Amino acid sequence: MGRTSGAVWGRTEQQDFRSRVRGTLLGVALGDALGAPVNGLDLDAIKGAYGPEGVVDLVPAHGRRGAVTHFTQLTLFSVDGLIRAQVRRDTGAWHPPTDLHRAYRRWAATQRDWGPDERRAEDGWLAREEWLYARRDATRALLVGFGDDIMGTPQTPKNPGERGPEAAVRSAPFGLLVGWDPHLVVQLAVECAAQTHGHPVACLTAGAYAAVVHALARGDSLDGAVQRTLALLAQRPGHEAVSGALQHALGAVRQGMPTPARVEELAGQGSAEGVLAVAVYCAYVGEDVRHGLCLAVNQSGPSGAAGALTGGLLGALHGETALPPAWLAELEGRPTVLALADDFAMEMTQGPALHGPAGSSPGWLARYPRA
């Protein structure tokens, strides 16, 4: 897998990029936290528990308000893997899907170990964050896909029948590779999705989501980002289901006031492309970030995935300052998310000052070992 040469970063560009990185990762986490308590409930049950408007604020799940699930956990390990890929490139090794698989295997260890193992120096700092060792509803496809050292590929995918949205949700960070050609962003997301969700539609949905985030992080409008993504998809075989879902979302925008019924109709059976359609629709029609996220989760479909996907889009579009501050104040793991976001932004904009063949920052290599 290749990559393009990096952009030239001025101070204003660096600050804008960091805001969008923070916004994307925090947005995923907020949408995840908002949807987690109602994930799997039908709309009547949600209204019965939380009132006629459904969930309009963070409510308790997993013993606290603002708790996140495997959607956020794996998104963070995606970022960790991308940074490690850049660092390891100094050695002449360059195969990002392998680095991502190693990162996801570190996440898998958090789901079976009691806590961090300080003896594993190659883990880096993220895998030593104790709060990430909470088991938060990871699906069987994830645990099986990352359960051994064999890496799924598009040619030999893990779980070839899996069409769920989990792989797409963890793909938002790929879209933050703003110096990459968008075709390569799509390809990386597709290859990494095959590690757990081998159905071609699930893989291509991950690529489509990364492509939309990529265009937004580069400063495009949501409509422009979706149109660019449709053009990219048209060049790939078997794109019809994903392209159709995106076009369905665009059509729904013109059908009047948003309703839970319209969201559920877009979600369909909860497959990856349907949940992506929900996210695009809610990002389009939401009056603000809060409204868009509430619209995404108050439905009978997969509320957690829909919230996380929507949050990633809105965060990439608007940056961190558009996110509801009262929700951020209660978000589980916010210091970790912010530290990782800032590390990613620093790596992407100032990587040569942190590491290289001629010399590297010991502190950076301790956080992101080359091993």
Q: What is the pLDDT along the chain (371 residues), one digit of tens a residue?
A: 544 344 568 999 999 999 999 999 999 999 999 999 999 999 999 999 999 999 999 999 999 999 999 999 999 999 999 999 999 998 889 999 999 999 999 999 999 988 888 888 789 999 999 999 999 999 999 999 999 999 999 999 999 999 999 999 999 999 999 999 999 999 999 999 999 999 999 999 999 999 999 999 999 999 999 999 999 999 999 999 999 999 999 999 999 899 999 999 999 999 999 999 999 999 999 999 999 999 999 999 999 999 999 999 999 999 999 999 999 999 999 999 999 999 999 999 999 999 998 889 999 999 999 97
Kindly report the backbone phi and psi dihedral angles of residue 232, in degrees, each rounded to the nearest multiple of 5, phi listed first: -65, -45
Is the pTM higher than 0.85? The answer reads yes
Tokens 């109709």 correspond to: 265
- Does 9 reside within a domain? no
Structure tokens at 319: 């940056």
- Does 347 reside within a domain? yes
- Does 30 reside within a domain? yes
- Does 63 reside within a domain? no
- State how many domains the chain has: 1
Kindly report the backbone phi and psi dihedral angles of residue 213, in degrees, each rounded to the nearest multiple of 5, phi listed first: -60, -40
Closest by CA position to 176, among listed 127, 209, 129: 209
Q: Helices (H), strands (E): how many in the chain?
A: 17, 2
Pair 370, 88: CB distance under 8 Å: yes
**63 exposed, middle or buried (CB, 10 Å; 0-12, 13-18, 19+)?**
exposed
Pair 335, 78: CB distance under 8 Å: no
- Does 5 reside within a domain? no
Name residue 38's amino acid: V
| pLDDT tens digit sequence for 303-354 | 999 999 999 999 999 999 999 999 999 999 999 999 999 999 999 999 999 9
Query: How many CB atoms sit inside 10 A of residue 364's CB?
Result: 18
Distance CA 275, CA 122 (A): 35
- Does 3 reside within a domain? no
Distance CA 41, CA 306 (A): 13
Distance CA 66, CA 359 (A): 41
Query: How many CB atoms sit inside 10 A of residue 273's CB?
Result: 26
CATH code of the domain covering residue 98? 1.10.4080.10
Domain limits at 312? Answer: 20-57+68-367
- Find residue 65's DSSP bridge partners: 60
Name residue 262's amino acid: R
